[in-house]
């Protein structure tokens, strides 16, 4: 994965939508990218869910908007980058690569509560998964999690008043875990 810096986010420009009233409003996308860059620098507080749920207007009349797929793909990539930053990737010991998730990283993970009025995954179930993932990363044994295990995992939604985690944040983290486990399997063959 190519690392994305705050400067990269600010400088990113997107191609135009094919034609007609399709596409995203360029000024709105550019302003949102500036907020993402500020979030990466700790000056703003967008969550991964904020990024995944953003909705842009169409372009102004008579203008072409940004290509929707191009913008959406970029925002997905940025979500992954923010997840790495939240893990403290910038403080990795020498010799570790940015894409390496460790036992200690898993123990430090903290997910947000779901937004008010939205359901979240049961915190106890997510916690049990994190314990199993930490054990997998610490021991690399035959009983560890596989990419398929992670892809197939389902967490129940928490009833109101029960501790819960933000679904979008947990899902983004699971994507990172699958990516690392797949890379780990490929390097062992």
What pLDDT score does 188 carry? Answer: 64
Position 98 scores a pLDDT of: 45
Q: Which residues pair with 122 in a beta bridge?
A: 164
- What pLDDT score does 86 carry? 65
Determine how β-strand 164-165 pairs with β-strand 121-122.
antiparallel
> From CA 43, how far away is CA 38, in angstroms rounded?
5
- State pTM to two decimals: 0.50
- Which parts of the chain have pLDDT scores under 70? 1-3, 19-21, 84-99, 140-143, 187-189
**For position 143, what pLDDT does the model report?**
62
pLDDT of residue 94: 36
pLDDT at position 25 is 93
């Amino acid at each position: 994965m190519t690392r994305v810096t705050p400067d990269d986010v600010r400088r990113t420009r997107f191609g135009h939508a094919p034609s007609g009233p399709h596409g995203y409003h360029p000024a709105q996308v550019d302003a949102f990218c500036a907020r993402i860059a500020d979030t990466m620098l700790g000056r703003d507080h967008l969550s991964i869910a904020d990024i995944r749920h953003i909705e842009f207007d169409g372009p102004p009349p008579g203008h072409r908007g940004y290509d929707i797929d191009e913008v959406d793909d970029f925002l997905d990539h940025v979500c992954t980058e923010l997840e790495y930053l939240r893990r403290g990737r910038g403080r990795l010991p020498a010799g570790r690569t940015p894409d390496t998730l460790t036992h200690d990283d898993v123990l430090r993970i903290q997910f947000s509560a779901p937004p008010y009025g939205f359901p979240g995954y049961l915190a106890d179930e997510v916690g049990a998964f994190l314990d199993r993932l930490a054990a997998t990363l610490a021991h690399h044994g035959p009983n560890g999690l596989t990419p398929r295990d992670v892809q197939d995992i389902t967490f129940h939604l928490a009833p109101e008043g029960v501790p819960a985690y933000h679904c979008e944040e947990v899902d983004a983290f699971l994507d990172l875990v699958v990516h690392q486990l797949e890379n780990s399997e490929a390097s062992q063959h």
